[in-house]
Each structure stands twice: as C-alpha cells, then as structure tokens.
C-alpha cells in the first residue's frame, strides 16, 4: 500500500508535501479561504465598502447585500437573537466564485476550483483589497477548507478508493444497512488545527448547508479544514504564504487519504 511517500504509515501532517497530480475530473465541490478580524462596524455602510468593490469589480461584478441573523447563548445556554449583520456578497457572472465581506471576516470560495495557483492568485487580489480599503490591524483566524464528494457507483467501491483508516463502518458487512456515518477528528500541529470530517451521507442530506449542498444521491465526503486561531499582525505577504502552506498541507492529507485508484478514477496520471 504505497502512496506518495513510499511508506504506508507516514504522518501527512508533517511529512513533505507531494508534487501535485492534476485531476481532470476532480471531486472537489467547494474550496474556501477565510480571514477573521476584530469587528469593523463601518463595513455595514455602503459608502465605506464602495472602494473595496471597485478594487475587485472586474473579477466579481455582481454584488448582493444580505442580512444574516446571528445568535448568542446566554445562561443557561438559551439562544438569544442579536441584530442582523450585513454581509456583502461579490460574485462573478457565472456564480462559480464568490467573495464575502462582513464586519468580522473576508472569505473567498469557489465551486469551480481549477488549481492551487489560480485560487491563491484570486485570494491575493481580495486580501490586498482588504488591506488597502479596510485596513484591519489584526487577524484573529485564518482558515482554508477543501471539500471533496463522490457519489453513485463510486460510493459502493469506496474501499478501493480510500485508506482503511478513513473507511469506518462503510467497509464492514453492516454497510448494507448504513445510512449516515460521519467521523470528525481534530489534529493539532503547533498553533494550527485540522478539522477533518469524512463519511457517508444519505440522499438529500448535509451537515453544513452553507458549504455543502444536499444532493439526491448517496455520497461520501472528505472535508478538510485547516486553520489557525491566534491573533497576529495583519501582513498581506505573510498571510498569503500561510494560506499557501495550508492549501499544500491539506493536499498532503488528501493524498494520504486516497489511493492511486482514486486518482486514476478522477483523471489523474499516477
């Protein structure tokens, strides 16, 4: 069982990142990068956001204003509604790429990921626009998330496509009765955390409606979210380098989780 390292039990969280193998039919359904920063109340104002819009409007010409209802927990853990927050959604004309700007975060997401280089280039554009027109002094959290999903016949052959460590009950005789099985693990490496979810979902089900749309087929999901929650100085080049490292590390974990058959099945040459 040799994968990219030549050793079946290597540690994908610290091992060297493998060379990228492009997949012609990649099962990625969404990729997200998000920066969270201390509250900037002025972001709710149209006049304040207008220069940011102009900086990215050629790439993301469609702007929608959304009001998002928030909730907080008060003793004894009862949810209390708080005033809605304005979130500005900038997207391309196809709707495949979207930038979200809110008083406490900036996010870039896509459902048409083509390459790490392209994604990071787009992230650079919006982070530089944030630096110029919003000027946060501190970043509280940086996160990068990749969500893969396979459906239909591939789910029935999942034992050939992923490592035994991420199979769970779907590899057992009980799998014929299995409807929903989702594993969640958190790994820590220095100040970084990896939230890894994988498992089987029944038709029309999701565990995160904002990031993973429900589909009418049974599916198997691999969801890798690498983040750092530690305040640090806002420095564009440092943040972009860290986002690149996060994306590379997620790829290393992805390559650890899947088999060469998975790569071939999705158009990769191994």
| Interval 219-257: pLDDT, tens | 999 999 999 999 999 999 999 999 999 999 999 999 999
For residue range 117-155, list pLDDT tens digits in order: 999 999 999 999 999 999 999 999 999 999 999 986 767
Beta-carbon contacts of 74 under 8 Å, excluding residues fewer than 6 positions away, are 80
Q: Is residue 14 part of a domain?
A: no
Closest CA to 133 of 233, 72, 48: 48
Quick one: what percent of the chain has pLDDT higher than 90?
73
Q: Is residue 22 part of a domain?
A: no
**Average pLDDT in the chain:** 89
Q: Is residue 19 part of a domain?
A: no
- The pLDDT of residue 2: 45
Q: Is residue 107 part of a domain?
A: yes
Asked if 231 contacts 138 with a C-beta cutoff of 8 angstroms, the reply is: yes
In the three-class reduction of DSSP (H, G, I as helix; E, B as strand; rest coil), residue 159 is classed as helix
Q: In the chain, which ranges are E strands?
A: 28-36, 62-74, 78-91, 97-102, 105-110, 138-139, 141-151, 181-189, 192-201, 219-228, 232-233
Mean local confidence (pLDDT), 172-200:
85
Answer whether residue 76 shows pLDDT above 90: no
Answer whether residue 166 shows pLDDT above 90: no
Q: Is residue 15 part of a domain?
A: no
Closest CA to 66 of 99, 31, 36: 99
Q: Is residue 182 part of a domain?
A: yes
Range picked from 26-40, 179-193, 198-212 for highest mean pLDDT: 26-40
Quote the distance between the C-alpha of residue 143 and its chain's center. Answer: 8
Higher pLDDT, 224 or 174: 224
- The pLDDT of residue 1: 39
Separation CA 267–CA 270 (nearest Å): 10
Q: What is the pTM of this model?
A: 0.91
Dihedral sign (CA 167, 171, 176, 177):
negative
Mean local confidence (pLDDT), 150-163:
81
Where in the sequence is the domain holding 239, given as residue range(s)?
28-265
Count of structural domains within the chain? 1
Q: Is residue 189 part of a domain?
A: yes
- The pLDDT of residue 245: 97
Asked if 111 contacts 212 with a C-beta cutoff of 8 angstroms, the reply is: no
15-19, 92-96, 248-252: segment of lowest average pLDDT: 15-19
Separation CA 101–CA 56 (nearest Å): 12
Mean local confidence (pLDDT), 172-187:
78
Range picked from 4-13, 15-24, 52-61 for highest mean pLDDT: 52-61
Q: Is residue 2 part of a domain?
A: no
């Amino acid at each position: 069982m040799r994968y990219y390292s030549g050793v079946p039990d290597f540690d994908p969280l610290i091992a060297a990142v493998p060379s990228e193998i492009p997949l012609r039919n990649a099962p990625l359904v969404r990729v997200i990068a998000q920066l969270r920063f201390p509250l900037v109340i002025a972001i709710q104002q149209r006049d304040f956001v207008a220069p940011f819009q102009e900086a990215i409007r050629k790439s993301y010409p469609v702007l929608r204003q959304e009001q998002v209802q928030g909730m907080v927990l008060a003793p004894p853990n009862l949810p209390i509604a708080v005033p809605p927050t304005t979130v500005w959604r900038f997207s391309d004309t196809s709707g495949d790429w979207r930038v979200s700007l809110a008083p406490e975060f900036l996010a870039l997401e896509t459902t048409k990921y083509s390459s790490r280089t392209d994604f990071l280039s787009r992230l650079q554009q919006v982070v530089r626009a944030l630096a110029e027109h919003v000027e946060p002094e501190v970043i509280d959290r940086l996160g990068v998330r990749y969500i893969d999903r396979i459906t239909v016949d591939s789910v029935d052959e999942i034992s050939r496509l992923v490592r035994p460590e991420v199979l769970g009950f779907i590899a057992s005789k009980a799998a014929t009765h299995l409807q929903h099985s989702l594993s969640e693990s958190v790994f820590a490496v220095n100040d970084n955390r990896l939230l890894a979810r994988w498992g089987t979902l029944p038709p029309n089900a999701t565990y995160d409606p904002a990031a993973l749309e429900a589909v009418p087929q049974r599916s198997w999901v691999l969801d890798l979210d690498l983040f750092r929650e530690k305040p640090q100085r806002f420095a564009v080049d440092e943040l972009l380098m860290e986002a690149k490292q996060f994306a590379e590390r997620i790829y290393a974990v992805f390559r650890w989780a899947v088999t060469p058959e998975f790569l071939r099945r999705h158009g990769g040459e191994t």
